[in-house]
Amino acid sequence: MFTTWFSTQVLPGLISAASGAIFGVVVAGWDKLAARIMLNKIGPSIKTIYNIVDPILEASLKGWCENDVNKVIALAVEVVNDGQLSADEVNKAVKLISKLWLPQIATQKVLDGLISEKENTIAQKIREAVDTKTLNTPDLLNTLKATYIK
The contacts of residue 38 (CB under 8 Å, 6+ apart) are 89, 92, 93, 96
Rounded Cα–Cα distance for residues 20 and 22 (Å): 5
pLDDT in tens, 24-83: 544 455 567 776 777 777 777 888 998 999 998 887 766 777 888 889 999 999 999 888
**In Å, how far from its chain's centre is CA 24?**
23
Rounded Cα–Cα distance for residues 35 and 28 (Å): 11
Better-scored residue on pLDDT, 22 or 118: 118
Of 87, 65, 64, 61, whose CA–CA distance to 74 is shortest? Answer: 87
pLDDT in tens, 111-127: 898 899 999 999 999 98
